[in-house]
Each structure stands twice: as C-alpha cells, then as structure tokens.
Amino acid sequence: MPMTITEKILANHAGKEHVVPGELINARVDFVLANDITAPVAIREFEKIGVADVFDRERVTLVPDHFTPNKDIKSAEQALLVKNFSRQYGLTNYFEIGRMGIEHCLLPEQGLVGPGDLVIGADSHTCTYGGLGAFSTGVGSTDLAAAMALGETWLKVPESIKFEFTGELQPWVSGKDLILYTIGDIGVDGALYRSMEFTGPAIENLSIESRLTMCNMAIEAGAKNGIVAPDAITRAYVEGRCKRPYQFYQSDPDASYVKVYQYDVSKIEPQVAIPHLPENSRPVGAAGNVEIDQVVIGSCTNGRMEDLRVAAKLLQGKKVHKNVRMVIFPGTQEIYLQALREGLIEIFVMAGGAVSTPTCGPCLGGHMGILAKGERAVATTNRNFVGRMGHPESEVYLANPAVAAASAILGRIAAPGEVE
C-alpha cells in the first residue's frame, strides 16, 4: 500500500505495516521536549501519574528558553521547577542558561533529533524538525506528561498535502519567503490537521536552515506537521552529529494526497506578512511605506547562522536608523560563538544593534523587546497576532532577515535591494 513519508514514519512507530489518514494510533516516541512555560504543567501532571521514573532519561529534554534569562520572580520559579525536576530524574539533556539555546534551534544542532524520528513537544513550533525528515508536532502539557512516563503517545494520522516548488530563487529570497507565500495562498487554516509535505527541485536546493524555517511555520497554516524528505543535504548535516541511529523515509510515487499545490519560486519576491495574521503576506514592495520602531532578528524561525550572515551582509558598514532599535537573538550559544568568530557580532554592534543571549523573549511578548502602544516592529519571528509582541495596539510585520536588516537601516519596511 503506497504511503507518504509522514504515514511511513507513523506506521513504523506504531508497529504497523501501514496506516491511513484518520486512523487513531498509539506510537512510540523518540524524543519529547518542553520549555520553562510548558514543562511546569507537564511536571505536575507527571507527578500525579505516580511512576518512579521517566521512560528514558536521554530522550526527555527540558529547555528554559522563553522567559530566560529569568525576567522576574515568577519566571525564576518556573525555571527552578524545571531544573529541580531535571536533577531529580537525572535528565541528560537539561540545558541551563549559558549552555541552552532556543529549543528548536538547539535540538537539531546538538544532534538530539534526526531523520525518521517521531518527536513531540509541549510547544507548537515542535514541527520545526520536519526540516530533517522527522515527524514532529506540538502537544499539550498533559499529553507530554504521559509521554514522559510511557514513551508513547496517541495520534490521528493526518491527511497529507503536497507543495511542489520549482524554479530558481530570486536574490534575498529564502525559505521564510516560501512559507509566508504559501500561507498567504492557503490561509491560516488551509492545512488544518494535515501534513504539509514540501517537495520539488527548489526545496531540494534549499539549505537545512531554510527547510527548518519552512517546517517551523507549518503550524501557522494549522498543520499537524511540516516535512521535507531527507536527501544528501540532510545527510551532510546529520552525519557525525546525530546521537542516535536515524532512518531516511521517502513518499511513494503513487502516495495519496488530499491536495497538491505547485509554485514557481522564480516569481516569489521577498515577502512581508502585515498585521495581524501570517496569511497577510505580500511582496515587500506592496507592504506600504510603513515607519517602524523596532526590528527583531532571531527566534526559532530565523535565528541560525545563515540568518545572521544574511543580516550582517546588509548591515556591514551601515547604521541602524536613529528612530529604530534593533535586537539580535542568536538561536543558540554555539551560533552566538560562531557569529563572534566570524565578526558578525561586531557588525551588529557597530551598526547600532543590541545582541542578546538566546531567548524566545520578544517573539511571544515575554521580555527584551516588548512593544508599546502604537509601536511597529519588523520581525523574523513566526506570528504577528494582535498583542503578540506587546501592547494590543502595537503591530508586527513578519519578514526574512534581509528585509528586517534593510528595514532597520531605513527606518521603514524596505526591500534588501534598497540598501545593497
């Protein structure tokens, strides 16, 4: 029976020869994760179960990354609860401040997730790991508690949608633009509880960073997961990095899809999603001459080395507009260190930017980048909902790192070509 890559991974983890969309399955998990917001709830539910230990101390990871470095007493207590639980159960993969990173940047970097894995996390952007060819999805904290205890979870097998991308990318266009364009086409509920499978020659030529970015934002179309079939680019990334055996899956040529979309990427320009939904995407030139107050470059969507290099290329020798504050959030400490070695941190500081240790802070309106009433930000993050980054009467415009850097320089939403 022909199956998609998502169906094959789920069948394997459910101990079945095949599965079909709509089928309810019990599946073993390869890895589970939570952060300083979602883990405390999971920990309390885990304690109610009454088991003596987690299912595997090497496959449960807790990453304090949302309100950290701790912004107040409440967030400090949340982080302490996470740390104490990790100590109590001897978790191998607990990452304290100074060693941690934004969770969805950190886990691939550390080789904790790999192709063919089934990963669940108490964070909606767990779907990021589909960029490596894994089935990964977000779950509630109570479901995570059960998985921490049992090493398995239940799922409904999603229908799959195929997105075929052909052609060659225009300058300054990346995976962020492809996913914003796609969400703009199908809407924020266009893939509701479905698997978004990204395929085609243009995807095959994308970097791992761009693939992770695309899968990261699958949830913004309502998807259960996003996924890219692993290939030679994937192998080059995971070889010598992944700490466990991994397996490459491919969709069968005659696998069934509920829909198929085809896009010519040569026609896609750098995109901007205007407030207040990711589906409000349009070419940067059509976003309007909007003056801005803040630029955020980083997050689990665009905080990797490729993203920082692109931003630095435009910012080198230039200055951030006097009316704009620009904050840079490397995705992990290793990324921060590599950016330092390459001179990118100096470029950012000389341009007038502020560089932070890894944190999710501003993306969810947590800290270190909150917007006041009436302020506008261009951000490389993943959501621009009402009040997402601060005051409900502030505005967030989503874009790639090149657009964000250009906008920081000119003090308004700008195309990269305007500052080259």
Give per-residue pLDDT as tens, 83-95.
999 999 999 999 9
Where helices occur in 342-381 by DSSP H, the ranges are 344-351
Is residue 300 within 8 Å of residue 102, measured between CB atoms? yes
pLDDT at 108: 97
Is residue 377 within 8 Å of residue 394, measured between CB atoms? yes
pLDDT over 90 percentage in the chain: 95
Q: Label residue 145 by pLDDT band (50, 70, 90).
A: very high
Give per-residue pLDDT as tens, 148-164.
999 999 999 999 999 99
In the block, tokens 């063919």 appear at 116
Quick one: average pLDDT of 286-301? 95
Strand partners, 162: 197, 260
Pairwise CA distance, residues 413 & 399, whole Å: 10
Strand partners, 137: 120
In the block, tokens 């990346």 appear at 174
Q: Label residue 288 by pLDDT band (50, 70, 90).
A: confident
Pairwise CA distance, residues 228 & 203, whole Å: 8
Is residue 68 within 8 Å of residue 97, measured between CB atoms? yes
Q: Is the pTM of this model over 0.85?
A: yes
Give per-residue pLDDT as tens, 309-329.
999 999 999 999 999 999 999
Cis peptide before 283 (omega within 30 of 0): no
Quick one: average pLDDT of 227-240? 97
The token pair that represents 178 in the structure block: 């492809």
Residue 328 half-sphere exposure, CB side, CA atoms within 13 Å?
32
Dihedral sign from CA coordinates of 6, 155, 235, 343: positive
Give per-residue pLDDT as tens, 49-59.
989 999 999 99
Q: How far is CA 73 from CA 34, 69, 97, 119, in A?
A: 20, 11, 16, 31
Pairwise CA distance, residues 262 & 420, whole Å: 31
Cα three-residue angle 328-283-381, rounded to 5 degrees: 25
Pairwise CA distance, residues 223 & 235, whole Å: 26
Residue 364: pLDDT over 90: no
Pairwise CA distance, residues 96 & 371, whole Å: 28
In the block, tokens 């904790």 appear at 112
Q: Label residue 256 by pLDDT band (50, 70, 90).
A: very high
Give per-residue pLDDT as tens, 35-72.
999 999 999 999 999 899 999 999 999 999 999 899 99
Average pLDDT, the chain: 96
Is residue 209 within 8 Å of residue 132, measured between CB atoms? no
pLDDT at 420: 83
Pairwise CA distance, residues 246 & 236, whole Å: 13
pLDDT at 68: 87
Residue 1: pLDDT over 90: no
pLDDT at 138: 97
Q: Which domains does the chain have, with CATH numbers?
A: 5-263 (3.30.499.10), 272-414 (3.30.499.10)
pLDDT at 132: 98
